[in-house]
Structure 1
């Protein structure tokens, strides 16, 4: 049986390329890794988010053999292919964020819906390996908090684009094809509480929320890419209420380079307004509810090809769809 040091090294709760490192406190995801390590005696890997996906290339050789056995040859199942990028409806009218903020504020005038701790998110992350076609790892995660500040987290392998069809899952570091709805993990965590973002409740005024998001990414004045990272982190902890969503749209309206693009239908079939930011090596599309301003999804696509990993410009790197 491996000793504790070996388990910690394999679990890697605080990766060197993560947004939090050094001598500061562990972030929420690092705490999750440690809790799982202590509870189960072995590390449980989660599908990486967009800012970590390039790191998959370095570890691609580890999963190459498994992926070759699962996916090699002409019989690869279409359900395992990378999703196509979302497209803006032709001739649709882009809605400026300032206008959407007004709509969101009007929709939230009665204070509903309410802010709720916890999240329900469907995500797709691109796994890349040297010399092999990239594959998409889809999962759905539901986190619910109890009155005593304990919580449960359920993660299942599923892809609503192909209901009932097998999907590829990264389960404990062993990529394999599993049945739709296969439970990857079901965990109950003991009571815990923090007064620091993103654990603390988000405020519902634009100025306070802007400061909250800046603290989330540990920078005094986040740029647009960092702001979108903070939104991603926030929505992995909280389901925003109407007032918080309206405040968030006001904050986003001041972000440089986030331009309105027009109408889209998200991966769960919901109508939305798209806002696009072009950054270094990637294009990020934020999808907002056209009536309430609630964040429906966030998509990252490659703007440059990476032939060594089978990635073309325009391929989807990462996508998250949040639900109530």
Structure 2
């Protein structure tokens, strides 16, 4: 497991000890390490889809037992199970409108580089809740890479870049368990797929066609197909898109233009995301939640999406300001 984690970290464009602006493309060394990680290991059965708002009743007991064991054995490394705090906007920063950002993205996309790539590299934190146990945040990293024959490989690793080397809490058969940092939760290679429907089809790079593409990608979840996507639905569609594709400069520019035409997504200033990258933040508030979209201030690329609770829910142990979920996308 340690070897696999080391390979994954070498393939990470934003290592913990590196400069905090590493959201560019992987270099040749990182690509080589990542290819080795994805190619040289046998496949494993695909784990069941993770339900973000449900977890086993043994969570507190697992954590308590682990902490007790660490104390009794003299170890002081606690598990990385603490929920992340909401991102904080820098007080000295000036908000940049989405229309201004869209113009920057359009100018950046003139040479067409970087290009669109199928697949994704995302670090996520997801809160699991139960009616009679405190909520627990589950961190993981997922890499999906496609091959020339349209087959693809997905690897999911339990790791929290905020706490390198510390044990990580994960779901396992309905009950949480603690694993080593870098533990491979699943590795699967899938046969070729030639679907031409969104989000499997390549996204267009103009705002009008991208809007139709995203609407089709979330059509199954829409209650009213006769209306344009709401801001909340557009953010949902953006998350689906980025979980399938690593956008190129032109696709990012089209998405930024589309977001600039929405209502209720307001600029709030500059933040540093959970991978150390600097971004402009845009907030959309609905009943009970706040969604913060973090975007590259120069290229308009989406860096992350955070959802926090703006209203407490004592039944589930949720407090105002708790982070429900956070995704950070990388090239």
Structure 2 equivalent of residue 280 of structure 1? 287
**Deviation sequence 1:260-284 (CA, Å, 0-9, x none):** 0100000000000000000122110
Give the unaligned 5+ runs of structure 2: 1-43, 69-77, 220-224
- Would the aligned equivalents of 1:45 and 1:173 in 2 still touch at CA under 8 Å? no
Mapped to 1, the partners of 2:139 and 2:173 lie a distance apart of 15
Give the unaligned 5+ runs of structure 1: 1-38
Structure 2 equivalent of residue 247 of structure 1? 254
Mapped to 1, the partners of 2:109 and 2:243 lie a distance apart of 22
**Deviation sequence 1:270-305 (CA, Å, 0-9, x none):** 000000000122110000000100000000001111
1:296 matched to 2:296? The reply is no
Q: What is the DSSP-based 3-state SS (H/G/I as helix, E as strand, rest coil) of the residue aligned with 1:203? A: coil
Task: Give the Å deviation of 1:78.
Answer: 6.2
Structure 2 equivalent of residue 126 of structure 1? 127
Mapped to 2, the partners of 1:166 and 1:80 lie a distance apart of 8
- Would the aligned equivalents of 2:79 and 2:167 in 1 still touch at CA under 8 Å? no
Task: Give the Å deviation of 1:217.
Answer: 1.2
Q: What is the DSSP-based 3-state SS (H/G/I as helix, E as strand, rest coil) of the residue aligned with 1:124? A: strand
- Would the aligned equivalents of 1:83 and 1:316 in 2 still touch at CA under 8 Å? yes
Q: TM-score, normalised by structure 2?
A: 0.79
Mapped to 1, the partners of 2:102 and 2:139 lie a distance apart of 32
| 1:1-324 mapped onto 2 (5 Å cutoff) | 40=45, 44-48=47-51, 53-54=52-53, 56=54, 60=55, 63-65=56-58, 67-72=59-64, 75=67, 77=78, 79-218=80-219, 219=225, 220-324=227-331
- Would the aligned equivalents of 1:262 and 1:274 in 2 still touch at CA under 8 Å? yes
Mapped to 2, the partners of 1:73 and 1:183 lie a distance apart of 22
Task: Give the Å deviation of 1:251.
Answer: 0.1
Task: Give the Å deviation of 1:75.
Answer: 4.3
Mapped to 1, the partners of 2:173 and 2:187 lie a distance apart of 13
Mapped to 2, the partners of 1:85 and 1:78 lie a distance apart of 20
Say which is worse superposed, 191-200 or 215-224, in terms of deviation: 215-224
- Would the aligned equivalents of 2:134 and 2:316 in 1 still touch at CA under 8 Å? yes
Task: Give the Å deviation of 1:307.
Answer: 1.2
Mapped to 1, the partners of 2:66 and 2:158 lie a distance apart of 24
- Would the aligned equivalents of 2:295 and 2:302 in 1 still touch at CA under 8 Å? yes
Mapped to 1, the partners of 2:149 and 2:230 lie a distance apart of 36
Mapped to 1, the partners of 2:80 and 2:267 lie a distance apart of 31
**Deviation sequence 1:17-76 (CA, Å, 0-9, x none):** xxxxxxxxxxxxxxxxxxxxxx84xx723444xxxx44x2xxx5xx112x1321238949
Mapped to 1, the partners of 2:239 and 2:50 lie a distance apart of 14
Residue 116 to residue 289, structure 1, CA distance change in 2 (3 Å): same
- Would the aligned equivalents of 1:45 and 1:171 in 2 still touch at CA under 8 Å? no
Mapped to 2, the partners of 1:172 and 1:239 lie a distance apart of 31
Mapped to 1, the partners of 2:101 and 2:118 lie a distance apart of 25
Task: Give the Å deviation of 1:232.
Answer: 0.3
Mapped to 2, the partners of 1:110 and 1:222 lie a distance apart of 30
